């Protein structure tokens, strides 16, 4: 049994991209492949991650680089090409971050149910297949995507729906992500926001949203949970690194 912030932790709800899997490089490649067909200049990984971390979806990002008043069908065509190309390269290039299997194992041994709440607009069936490819599907109890809820993060919808499918009060769930939008969504849902610092230069931005816990890596998070599991209790940290 694990307690953090005076609450019994029954569930951990994770974002995927940038939290559990290292997908931004592959997505940047697919994005630039798609926009090059429309004679647009390539953008950097930093450009894309800036807007993705704010919770913008792909059409909203494309509207920022297409000429003003571009026809929506043109943007939709570019969006389809990017997503199709990303799906083609994802299976070979996108891998989990180091420590995912260890962290999931620690949570499983502690009796904490694992949910996935992703900003992706894919189907939950496709996400199950992704985790099956990684050999992690046996740890996961529920997957919810933005396709299943009215609003994307930073709205809390996907986290609330995931907690509901887990059959756990959202207040007894850790909401784990790597972006400001993830932290805001977790707090708005009523969960305990946990930030994973996969990009070292994001510390100030993540701290500004005041997550309850910040970890430099999934392995550090797993070590913390193992230690708290021995005492059964975790302490509040002011917005800052563990």
Task: Take residue 50 and report the two structure tokens written for it.
Answer: 């800036």
pLDDT in tens, 41-96: 999 988 998 888 777 889 999 999 999 888 899 999 999 999 999 988 888 889 99
Q: How far is CA 63 from the centre of its chain?
A: 23
Instruction: Among 12-21, 32-41, 206-215, name the one with the lowest average pLDDT.
Output: 206-215
pLDDT band at residue 235 under the 50/70/90 scheme: very low
Grouping H, G, I as helix, E, B as strand and the rest as coil, residue 191 is: coil
pLDDT in tens, 207-231: 778 899 999 999 999 999 998 877 6
Predicted confidence at residue 97, as pLDDT, reads 94
Of 239, 231, 236, nearest in space to 110 by CA: 231
Residue 197 has pLDDT above 80, yes or no: yes
* Alpha carbon distances (Å) from 89 to 80, 85, 99, 148, 233: 15, 6, 23, 25, 43
Of 215, 214, 17, 211, nearest in space to 117 by CA: 17
Residue 238 has pLDDT above 80, yes or no: no
Of 217, 194, 221, nearest in space to 206 by CA: 194
Do you know the residue count of the chain?
242
Q: Helix crossing, 180-189 with 157-166: angle to 10°?
A: 60
For 168-238, strand residue ranges (E) read 173-177, 192-196, 213-215, 233-234
Average pLDDT score, the chain? 89
Strand 173-177 to strand 142-145: parallel, antiparallel, or no bridges (unpaired)? Answer: unpaired
Residue 185 has pLDDT above 80, yes or no: yes
Span 135-152, mean pLDDT? 95
Span 134-146, mean pLDDT? 96
- Contact yes or no for 86/113 (Cβ under 8 A): no
List of domains in the chain = 3-22+95-234 (3.40.50.1000), 24-93 (1.10.150)
pLDDT in tens, 107-121: 999 999 999 999 888
Task: Take residue 209 and report the two structure tokens written for it.
Answer: 């949203």
Which residues lie below 8 Å from residue 151, measured CB to CB, with a gap of 6+? 157
- What sign has the CA pseudo-torsion 75, 51, 36, 23? negative
Grouping H, G, I as helix, E, B as strand and the rest as coil, residue 77 is: helix
pTM of this prediction?
A: 0.87
Residue 202 has pLDDT above 90, yes or no: no
pLDDT band at residue 5 under the 50/70/90 scheme: confident
How many whole angstroms separate alpha carbon 156 and alpha carbon 49? Answer: 20
DSSP states along 98-160: TTHHHHHHHHHHHT-EEEEEES--S-HHHHHHHHHHHT-GGG--EEEEGGGSSS-TTSSHHHH
Of 88, 37, 31, nearest in space to 61 by CA: 31
């Amino acid at each position: 049994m694990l307690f953090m912030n005076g609450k019994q932790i029954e569930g951990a709800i994770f974002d995927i991209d940038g939290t559990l899997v290292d997908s931004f490089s592959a997505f940047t490649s697919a994005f630039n492949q798609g926009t090059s067909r429309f004679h647009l200049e390539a953008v950097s990984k930093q450009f894309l991650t800036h807007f993705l971390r704010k919770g913008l979806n792909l059409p909203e990002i494309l509207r920022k680089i297409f000429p003003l008043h571009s026809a929506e069908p043109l943007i939709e065509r570019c969006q389809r090409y990017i997503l199709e190309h990303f799906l083609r390269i994802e299976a070979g290039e996108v891998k989990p971050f180091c420590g995912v299997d260890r962290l999931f194992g620690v949570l499983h041994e502690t009796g904490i149910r694992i949910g996935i709440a992703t900003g992706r607009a894919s189907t939950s069936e496709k996400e199950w297949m992704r985790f099956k490819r990684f050999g992690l599907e046996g740890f996961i109890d529920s997957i919810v995507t933005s396709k299943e809820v009215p609003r994307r993060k930073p709205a809390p919808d996907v986290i609330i729906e995931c907690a509901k499918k887990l059959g756990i009060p959202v207040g007894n769930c850790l909401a784990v992500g790597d972006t400001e939008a993830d932290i805001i969504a977790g707090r708005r849902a009523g969960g305990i926001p946990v930030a994973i610092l996969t990009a070292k230069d994001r510390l100030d931005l993540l701290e500004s949203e005041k997550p309850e816990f910040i970890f430099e890596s999934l392995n550090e998070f797993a070590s913390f949970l193992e230690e708290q599991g021995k005492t059964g209790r975790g302490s509040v940290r002011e917005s800052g690194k563990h």
